[in-house]
Amino acid sequence: MARSKEPIWWSMFSAGGVIAAFLIPATLLITGFAPLAGYITAEQLHDLIDRSWLVKIYLFILIALPLFHWAHRFRFTVADLGLRGGAALQAILFYGAAIVGTICAAVILIRA
């Protein structure tokens, strides 16, 4: 039996899990509920992201790692739900989506 390459994905999954656990709830309140309650306007939020490199880096981390977290966990969830066919294709699809999303986020945020 060979040692698996799973640590690549598992470490990204774990890092994404930690980031998501600590940061998503508060960020979700800021993007979802603050504008609704009138604490922040869309314009203010836009300027906040547009002006600060720190906010852009923060958003990059909050996009990239949770995408890998999703890809890894979703791969196992789909198998647990009984869809075990085409496991290799599924892996390519899910991790591929996370990689594409990460590249898109990097390009968009560097250009912005």
Site residues for other proteins per CB under 8 A: 1-8, 10-11, 16-18, 20-36, 39-40, 42-52, 56, 59, 62-64, 66-67, 69-71, 73-74, 76-77, 79-82, 84, 101, 104-105, 108-109, 112
- Write down the number of H helices and E strands in the chain: 5, 0
The amino acid at residue 108 is: I
Minimum gap (Å) between residue 86 Cβ and other proteins: 16
Minimum gap (Å) between residue 11 Cβ and other proteins: 5
Inter-CA distances, 106 with 3, 4, 24, Å:
32, 29, 19
